Amino acid sequence: MSKTTDTTRRSFLKAGALVAAPAAAIGIPAAAMAEDGSKAALARLQDERAIEALNRDFLRAFNRGGAKGTAKLFADRKAPAIAKGVSKLSLDFAEAPQSFAIAEDGSNATACFDCTFELAEELEGSETIVQMARMQGNSASVQTVRKTLSASYAKAGDAWEITSIELV
């Protein structure tokens, strides 16, 4: 006598719920009762990740539209004063920053990163062909330069904002 069993999506969901319920019952009180500093460590880790994401957003916005395109990421909503001719910024997020510090109260932070940027010398002239080349992003020469990107951050509510950023 053979008995065939049909497996449905609903049976998988029920089985998953049965397996997850005891784990959740054990895990929630342990997390709620943790007074060993793990909450503070988790909050710091979340802040670090939020600042990393803010840096990635800054780089994307800068590389897409220059310094003016980054104003919305700053606390004062003003674009940073980055030297004329800096056309592309890049950070190596795989490398550890030179320095990274979050204040004890978690309200502000500072960081310094190794940075590579392209310094482009603009084409001179007002001829139509030169204007067209400029509009297409062409330049007379491009140099790749390594410097340090120094940034300060402030926490506004649950979100981080850049207070200042400069190439040193």
Looking at residue 37, its pLDDT comes to 75
pTM: 0.66
What is the band of 109 on the pLDDT scale with cuts at 50, 70, 90?
Answer: very high
φ, ψ for residue 90, nearest 5 deg: -150, 140
User: Comparing C-alpha atoms, which of 125, 117, 124 is closest to residue 149?
Assistant: 117
- How open is the CA angle 60-111-160, to the nearest 5 degrees? 60
| pLDDT score at 50 | 92
Domains of the chain: 10-167 (3.10.450.50)
Average pLDDT over residues 120-127: 76
The pLDDT assigned to 33 comes to: 47
- Name the nearest CA neighbour of 75 among 167, 158, 153: 153
CB-based contacts of 85, cutoff 8 Å, min separation 6: 119, 120, 121, 122
- pLDDT tens, residue by residue, 76-88: 999 888 877 787 8
